Amino acid sequence: MEHEEKQQEDQQEQPEQKQESHSKYIRMKKFPFIMGIFLLIFVTAGITLLALTFGDEKQVQPISRERQEFEKLYSTYDTLNKDYYTKIDQEKIIDGAIKGMISSLDDPYTDYMDEKQAESFHENISSSFEGIGAEVQQKDNQITIVSPIKGSPAEKAGIKPRDIVLSVNGKSLEGMSANEAVLLIRGKKGTKVNLVIQREGNTQPINVTIVRDTIPIETVYAKMMKDKIARIQVTSFSERTGSELEQSMKEMKAQGMKGMVLDLRQNPGGLLDQAMKIASLFVPKDEIVFQVEYRNGKKEIAKSENTGGKPEFPVVVLVDEGSASASEIVAAALSESADIPLVGVKTYGKGTVQTTEQFKDGSNVKYTMAKWLTPDGNWIHKKGIKPNVEAKLPEYANLPFISPDKALRINSSSEEVKAGEKMLAALGYKPGTVDGYFDQNLQGAVNQFQKDVKLQQTGTIEGKTTMALMDKIREKIQKHDVQLDKAIETVKKDLSK
């Protein structure tokens, strides 16, 4: 996965640094069985984010030409270098060979970053960033959205988990790595980027124009709901998330919190040390948080460091299809080791561990080197975690984006017209038969909507009307959050026991 997170060096005591070792900001110290880094990648329309990876630091050793399995590779290189009809770019052809090798693994989490990509990654990972705020990964040779970040331009534009990005500003992403795609998607605040999206259930691709912005780095949002039940949303696991959550819980307790909903929806992951810290707030001391299994069958176990005991109030975890990587580790740990119920829909399903090797020229290889398992030994890769209590959002919460630059008017017909009809119907207007055809009934509904939001009554869906329509739908989703309602209901049941 990929994501635009931002972490910095952990301030705890650092292990001895080796020459050519991994960057300091991804070092881990807390687990004696792990000598190197923890990575779990999640990318946000602009920057790659390391979140969970295990493994020893390694030195990159030169490959001896005596190794017979490389004889064909060397021969091909020598032939091209000597006899190709134009002079070859040696660096480019070597990079291409590495990318081809990695591509043959058919693993979206194994990737090669050339010097430029790696440099960009290092520059952005320790600070806020500018982009659209959508985590992406390469899957089945396509660039797929994992999750948009809360409050980001991508979320506001209606980008959804599992959307496939076909092109960026007219350039096809077919065959590109996630890192290459991210370099095209991100950009300076205030600039526009056009994405062509393929969404499951839609016969036609969707054009989405998004204005880039600075992506918020705040990761914890707390609010006291009715009956003294607090909703605390964690949007990613960055360097201060654990401390932010602890502080938010203290504030909610001071307000008389009787129960808590830990909202991990649309959380693509992040730093594992923060996931461990959060899990340890709920999982009893020395209970298992997760396991790591290597290809030789060896397993290593990470246990809770909880010193405060189990919370004295009922807790429910809220998850969805955008909950991935480190958020799945937390959800599984709380479910299996603390008997905390999960509410929502099945999670994303990323159950592998990555590490990196750095080369002298600044490039690196990120590769999958282990599985992670839940406390009970379940591997959730490509399966996700099924909640104890299922709660789905209504259909209008998954309607496709309508481009404000496109005019939908009388007698036109398209999937976007159908989306407009459904939006108006969800808001209480009467667009007539929902069939994707712009008839007089729909025109009348548009005029009434424009009147209600104090816009010029043109009877056409475009520009400010399109944006207002999508804003109203977003407000309705937030105001009538059926998944949150179900989570609160579950907390109340525990309170009544």
Active site residues: 325, 336, 350
Tokens of 447: 């005029």
Calculated CA dihedral for residues 371, 264, 24, 300, nearest 10 degrees? -30
Strand 342-344 and strand 315-319: pairing?
parallel
Q: Tokens 């060896």 label which residue? A: 298
CB 344 within 8 A of CB 337: no
**CA-CA-CA-CA torsion sign (435, 441, 419, 169):** positive
Residue 181 and residue 164: Cα distance in Å, rounded? 12
Neighbours of 91 (CB within 10 A): 12
List residues bridging with 137 in a β-sheet.
144
Neighbours of 204 (CB within 10 A): 11
List residues bridging with 222 in a β-sheet.
232
Residue 340 and residue 289: Cα distance in Å, rounded? 13
What is the per-residue burial (b if ≥16 Cβ within 10 Å, else e) of 293-306?
Answer: beeeeeebebbbbb
Residue 156 and residue 475: Cα distance in Å, rounded? 11
**CA-CA-CA-CA torsion sign (59, 61, 67, 71):** positive
Tokens of 488: 């609160």
